[in-house]
Amino acid sequence: MDSCLIFSGNSNYQLAEKIAKYLNKELSPINIYRFKDGEICVKIEANIRGKDVFIIQSTCPPVNENLMELLIILDALKRASPRRITAVIPYYGYARQDRKDQPRVPITAKLVANILVTAGADRILTMDLHAPQIQGFFDIPVDHLFAAPVMIKYLREKKFKKPVIVAPDVGSVKMARAFAKRLPAELAIVDKRRDAPDKVEMIHVIGDVKNCEAIIVDDIISTGNTMIEAAQALIKNGATQVYGSCTHAVLAENTIEKFKNSLFSEVIITDTIPHSNLPSIFTILTVSELLGEAIKRIHLEDTVSSLFI
């Protein structure tokens, strides 16, 4: 691993440090600073000529700041002649606008893919993309990991009596089905309708959740409305307890407060987005080993497919 260098942006330094520790490496030095007018400047403080370079940065809130920082780091890296640059993006922001679902709207997931490549990324390592087909927005290799192995291991230890995995909307069914198969558990779906962006109206629960421990799985918690209203519907339909399992805890606005006052027994999230001092209802699992192992295998030109299981 000597010819492999790992850098981190400012968005999730804690996770980057854990990944480096897993790999028995130090993060390589980089100076990221702001000019007086707020513009970002970067200086790579290590020789990377001919090296295999990884830059870890989640594009979580503040999204534009973190994305721009990543682009500028990529540009600085590219101009320092490395052999290859892999952008490790544990949380890929702007992913939810992945198609034109109404006239005259952007496809930001594709726009971000384009600018990452223009800035200098040769390959991407990411996790639980909002839609797996976002991989196809890149014409460079993308390794797309799932947090499921980490989540399922934890959920199994809870030894649920009658678990049912719940997809809080149709978009999450595939993810939920994978969880249900592997836990194992039954599957249910909450039929969710949105009146307007960030507003949710629950219609009904498809599947039997009566006397079950319901585990809602989703890729993102932003306002929390999807999960919280799904939990209400599940309790109304006879679930004894409700758990949440979500890879990317964006936790926008007053979402943390909302969960404190919710019907959830526990909400399990990962550290793709950094959080500190969360209330005890949240359990944070680390995906550092998964990402670290993927980095190792990419560097050693080894297969990463066994990490998907």
**What does the binding site for ligand R5P look like in residue numbers (CB under 6 A)?**
96, 168-169, 171-172, 198, 200, 218-226
Q: Bridge partners of 4? A: 52
Beta carbon of residue 199, minimum distance to ligand R5P (angstroms, whole number)? 9
Question: Nearer Cβ to ligand R5P, position 60 or 73?
Answer: 60
Please calculate the CA angle 62-64-65 and round it to the nearest 5 degrees.
65
Cβ 67 to ligand R5P shortest distance, Å = 18
Q: How far is the CB of 223 from ligand R5P (least distance, A)?
A: 3
**293 with 131: CB under 8 angstroms?**
no
How buried is 64 (Cβ within 10 angstroms: 0-12 exposed, 13-18 middle, 19+ buried)?
exposed
In the complex with ligand R5P, the residue whose CB is nearer, 122 or 169, is 169
Nearer to ligand R5P (CB atom), residue 16 or residue 249 = 249
Q: How far is the CB of 255 from ligand R5P (least distance, A)?
A: 7
CA 231 to chain centre: 22
Secondary structure string (H, E, C) spanning 106-136: CCHHHHHHHHHHHHCCCEEEEECCCCHHHHH
Task: Report how far residue 65's alpha carbon sits from residue 11's, in angstroms, rounded to the nearest whole number.
Answer: 9
First to last CA, the chain: 24
Alpha-carbon distance of 234 to 215, in angstroms, equals 10
Q: How far is the CB of 226 from ligand R5P (least distance, A)?
A: 3
Give the containing element (helix H, strand E) for 179: helix 173-182
CB 18 within 8 A of CB 37: no
Our CB check for ligand R5P shows the closer of 52 and 169 to be 169
CB distance 150 to 290 below 8 Å: yes
Nearer to ligand R5P, 220 or 267 (CB): 220
Q: Which residues are catalytic?
A: 192
Cα angle, residue 66 at apex, residues 60 and 70 outer, rounded to 5°: 120
Report, in Å, the least distance between residue 252 CB and ligand R5P. 7
Closest to ligand R5P by CB, 185 vs 269, is: 269
Q: Return d(Cα 34, Cα 97) in angstroms, integer.
A: 29
